[in-house]
Copies of this chain bind each other. A is one copy, B any other.
Amino acid sequence: MNNLKKRIGIIGGGQLGKMMILDAKRLGFYVTTLDPASDCPSHSISDAMMIAAFDDADAIRALAEVSDVITYEFEHIHVDILKDLVAEGHAVYPTPSSLEIIQNKYTQKQALTVANLPVPDFKEVSSIDEIREIGELFGYPMMLKACLGGYDGKGNAVVKSSSQEDISSAFFALAGGKNPLMLERFVDFDKEISVLACRGLNGQVVVYPVGENEHKNSILDITLVPAQISPSCTTKAMELAEAVMDIFHGVGMFCIEMFVAKDETLYVNEVAPRPHNSGHYTIEGCLTSQFEQHIRAITGLPFGDVSLRCPTVMMNLLGDTESEGKTMVTGIEEAYKNPRVKVHLYGKAESKAHRKMGHLTVISETIEGALMEAQQAQACIKIFGGQS
């Protein structure tokens, strides 16, 4: 191709990388994946693999040498390596400068606060005494969070009360101050929603329909789209997402998770600078999936349509908690007896408890119908570890 950045390098070969590639290949891009695991989900559909650690600066530089644009599928990357690449003239999207602010939950919230965007009250802390002190201000329960490296509830701990036991158990659950920590005032939210947005190289922003999330054991379980919130709250959420995109000057797909309080006040909970689990519904629910949109954004193509084609429900398929080992799947045939069920299996070699092994999507005339059908399908499928 002439005018397109044709070669894409992706740091990370998990399910998000794999789904990016499925769309990139349709458009004829050449994709190289960097991942430490030679059997990662992306391995079989990447044009080339580089087997290397995520902090291997030489390998990431080598990836840049064979790519017209570099992107990544997770945010816990040594940002200095990416900054060096940009200084050397490589294209890296989302930009390392936006990634640097976002990957630290404290600086992320600071940036949002400076821009007057609504977030739960938050404060950096480094000791038990500080936690107690702020507890008087925020009240209990409060959320203690590791500023760096958390995901799927990992890196979060609830401080239930002002008792010495509750404070120190949360504190030591997050490595007892060895890593930067922050406290957040607990938001008594009515719903958690996700707004996916994408920003182009030219600064244009496109916002997807709002999804409503339900978590189980702090891991996303269900996304329902459209979110069951008022039209005015939907509009406010989409505007808030657009405002967030303008702060971080991100290029590519972002997910803005928000709390909706009972009075429909919105708070930004977390920003992810990448396609997101709560955006998987876009594959069947929209004409342009979040993965295709990301590829379009980082290669300078115009955006595709993001309107919702019909009510859509996404449910995660996690590894069984009772077993660990070579991935085994049962019940696909049963789930597929409903012709509107679509199952996505990520191709992870090993099943582990609570590991994201796949997801399914159901479209229907109504969100209630889609939810019921998705739950029936999810109940059919079992993913577990067998003997290898």
Which residues of A approach B to under 8 Å, CB–CB? 1-4, 18, 21-22, 25-28, 30-31, 44-47, 284, 287-288, 296, 300-306, 309-310, 328-330, 332-333, 336-337, 339-340, 342-347, 358, 363
The docked-state distance in angstroms from the alpha carbon of A304 to that of B358 is 18
The docked-state distance in angstroms from the alpha carbon of A337 to that of B44 is 32
The docked-state distance in angstroms from the alpha carbon of A1 to that of B332 is 9
The secondary-structure label for the interface of chain A is loop
Q: A26-B22, A345-B28 are in contact. Are A332 and B287 (CB under 8 A)?
A: no
The docked-state distance in angstroms from the alpha carbon of A305 to that of B347 is 24
Q: A2-B328, A346-B28 are in contact. Are A340 and B287 (CB under 8 A)?
A: yes
What is the total number of copies of this protein in its complex? Answer: 2
Beta-carbon contact of A2 and B329 below 8 Å:
yes
The docked-state distance in angstroms from the alpha carbon of A329 to that of B5 is 12
Using CB atoms, name the residue of chain B closest to A357.
B28
Closest 8 CB pairs of A and B: A28-B345, A305-B339, A302-B336, A44-B47, A1-B329, A45-B45, A305-B340, A28-B347
Beta-carbon contact of B25 and A44 below 8 Å:
yes
The interface centre, meaning the residue of A30, A300, A305 with most chain B CB atoms within 10 A of its CB, is A305
Q: A47-B44, A287-B342, A339-B288 are in contact. Are A301 and B332 (CB under 8 A)?
A: yes
